[in-house]
Amino acid sequence: MKVTILVDNTALFDRYLIAEHGFSAFIEADGCRVLFDTGYSDAVIRNAHQLGIDLLHLDYIVLSHGHLDHTGGLYHLIRLFLGAVQEGRDHRLPQLIAHPHCFYPRPKPPLPDIGPMLTAEAITRHLLVNLISSPFPLSPNLIVLGEIKRTHSFEVRSPGSRRIVMPDGTVTEDHILDDTALACRTKDGLVIITGCAHAGICTTITYARKVTHEERILDIVGGLHLLGKGMQLDGTLEFLRTVQPSSLHACHCTSLGAKISLAGVVSLRETGVGLSLVYHDR
């Protein structure tokens, strides 16, 4: 299994790659090629080109949740596919996997909408869209967790001004129930890949263990949505101290203060756009 970071808030030192507030990772596992999240802009395409990664032959695009910094690059990817069709270039149209809530409008004052710029209906004119809430295997060892069952009370956060517009027009608090992650079984344990871990990274780990029947945690890669001191960070530190993942690559929505605290209990590793991680297959 191989994971390459294509979009993150930072880029690796001495690499000529684009960083932006967002996340995207390219995963190869069991012969399956997956793009997990798409970042905010066309940076995902530009960075993939610089790294020699072919996005025209993906099997799946998986969206971790319906926020702009994880779905914005989808518009540019569809343009990439359209160009390949128009010019007769070799390509394969991927299947898009997301939670049913992923494409609902999400007002967050003063912003009118922080959800995807494209609707599910618009995307289905170009790609096969598969909206799922249950665990979904992409390959024998790589699984989309689906809607993650919330289990750790210290990770339950107030939605603040976040709202979501349901299909019947009602507007309700947005607890980001569409938040999901990838879990891959490897020879040495689970690799968990998150977008923002809005469900909470401890809750995500607990659910991934249940779904995969694997207790060992080899690595966690992605955003943790840990922004400062408080009950959530304290609970997370205690949980990770017990779990002891072999390594942690905290990206995107993990503050410097949180990273410093995390480095005191787990093996925190440097990350950023251009990072490639290779794990032994199961």
Per-residue model confidence as pLDDT tens digits over 128-148: 999 999 999 999 999 999 999
Question: What is the total count of domains within the chain?
Answer: 1
Position 37 pLDDT exceeds 90: yes
Q: What is the pLDDT of residue 158?
A: 86
Do 172 and 208 contact (CB within 8 A), yes or no?
A: no
Do 221 and 193 contact (CB within 8 A), yes or no?
A: yes
Cis amide linkage into residue 140, ω under 30° from 0: no
Do 251 and 23 contact (CB within 8 A), yes or no?
A: yes
Token output for 165: 């517009």
**What's this model's pTM, rounded to 2 decimal places?**
0.97
Model confidence pLDDT, tens digit, residues 181-213: 999 999 999 999 999 999 999 999 999 999 999
Alpha-carbon distances of 232 from 51, 210, 219, 226, rounded to whole Å: 36, 22, 20, 8
Helix (H) or strand (E) holding 121: helix 120-123
Grade residue 269 by pLDDT with cuts at 50, 70 and 90: very high
Q: Which of 253, 249, 242 is nearest to 275 (CA)?
A: 249
Strand 217-223 and strand 189-194: pairing? parallel
Average pLDDT over residues 222-228: 94
- Domain hosting 268: range is 2-278
Alpha-carbon distances of 15 from 12, 21, 275, rounded to whole Å: 6, 17, 10
Q: What is the pLDDT of residue 157?
A: 83
The CATH number linked to 199 is 3.60.15.10
Position 156 pLDDT exceeds 90: no
